Amino acid sequence: ASTLPLRNPGIKWDPFVPQVPHSSAEDVAEAVASARRGLREWSSLQPRERGRVMTRAANLLRSKLEEFAQLETRDTGKPIWESRCDMVTCIDALEYFGGLACVALNGRHIPLTPSAFSLVTREPLGVIGAIGAWNYPLQGCLWKAAPALACGNAVVFKPSPLTPATAVAVGEVFADAGLPPGVYNVVQGGSQTGQALCDHPKVDKLSFTGSVATGQRVMKAGAEKVIPVTLELGGKSPLIVFEDADLVNAVRGAVMANFLSQGEVCSNGTRVFVHRSLEQSFRETLLSVVQRMKVGDPCEDDTVVGATITEEHAQKVLGFIDRAQAEGAEVLIGGKRLSGGELPERCRGGVFLSPCVLGRCSDDMEVVREEVFGSVLSLLTFDSEEEVVERANDTPYGLAAGLFTRDVRRAHAVAQRLQAGNIWVNNYNLSPVEAPFGGFKRSGVGRENGEEALRMYSQTKSIYVELGDVDVGPMPDVRR
């Protein structure tokens, strides 16, 4: 079979980059058939046994945390400390949904009459076709696979062709934990492989993370087959800093909202609205922090900003910055490609961009309206709460939003008015597995994580039970 063209984004030559076969439509069909075979055994297990398998997988992954973190950094170019944090969230997902497996399909009893009642039960959907993104490869995989497995489904997962390694490696973890053969499958490739998975008639649900444009194609495929679809798509999220905010924590929040994973995060709060009275001190403090960020070798523990995923994506990010300047924005810091002399020798084949802060921005600029997916923060000012909420909501996206204030009443009131699926108050970009994650508007459909995710991967059945005689009313009775 042909192989995917892979490279480590941060290193000139890495002998450890794996060779990954490209999955054909026939390979996808074989994976789906394997999933249907595995589904029979997995769905028939007692829920607590499914939970035990997932808990064992979590413990095995914990024992291999450093190995997986290194693999993730080689694939993505993100700093190693971030990959370690990502692995913890993956372990959390397996533990959390493994613990919920016993109650994932719990039903309820509804009394109706003295002689009748209804039982409402939940059942697995079947085979889940899941497609992940390149910025959080294993986390994106397990945010889908863990709740799906807890509900008794089988999974066929397609990672991004840019970051294919950890999805395969975790399959070995599942096998060692006792997951039956065929319950978790991986296919590799780009859009053609993804389309084959979406179109397969034996796939019972689709779950996708990625761009709005691709999400629309996934939803169309689901609509044609009339199957459920979960979409976690892009965003252009606001971060609001009110005049009473704690300045230090607000700047920390802006850094968290913009510069993790080289800015390649769908929930990033790239539109930073700062109250006019706080703007100068906020800007000066922010720039002093960004200036000290180390950009470089992703494998070094003190690196803050790693390698951009591809040359093509770097050019896209730099293009946004160039056009922003043409529209009147000012580059306050960064936004440059690091030259060879600024990098360790082994990293000189990678693509490294310095984190960028833009000033003199306005709401109508392209960089303020469109998702950049890079380390580009746009500074904007506001004068009133009413004004900033209206401007924050003026976007077709609704994935996330954040605000910093000491006023608890204001925090609750503004959070209720912001049109986004995820709101952070006095923090940003923390996504615990216990809480649902997903967007409003064009940012997605459905939810990942939390108990809500269990409803995304199961279906409801109502069973009416009559203990007495059938009342036929005025219709002729068989006794007459």
Q: In this structure, are residues 9 and 66 in contact, taking their beta carbons and an 8 Å threshold? A: no
Q: Is 232 a catalytic residue?
A: yes
Q: Which residues face 459 on adjacent strands?
A: 123
For the sheet with 458-466, list strands across it. 108-113, 116-124, 458-466
Q: Which residues face 466 on adjacent strands?
A: 116
Q: In this structure, are residues 80 and 299 in contact, taking their beta carbons and an 8 Å threshold? A: yes
Alpha helices in 301-383 (DSSP H): 311-326, 366-369
* Residues in CB range of 51: below 8 A, 6 or more apart: 98, 99, 100, 101, 102, 150
Tokens of 70: 């290194």
Q: Which residues face 154 on adjacent strands?
A: 127
In angstroms, the CA 270 to CA 379 distance is 8
CA 391 to chain centroid, in Å, comes to 25
Q: In Å, what is the CA distance from 200 to each residue of 34, 148, 152, 206, 334?
A: 13, 18, 20, 11, 46
Q: Which of 232, 264, 371, 448 is catalytic?
A: 232
Q: Tell me whether residue 246 is exposed, middle or buried, using C-beta atoms within 10 angstroms of its C-beta: 0 to 12, 13 to 18, 19 or more.
A: middle
Q: In this structure, are residues 131 and 194 in contact, taking their beta carbons and an 8 Å threshold? A: yes
In angstroms, the CA 185 to CA 130 distance is 10
Helix, strand, coil percentages (3-state) for the chain, rounded to 5, are 40, 20, 40
Which of the residues are catalytic? Answer: 232
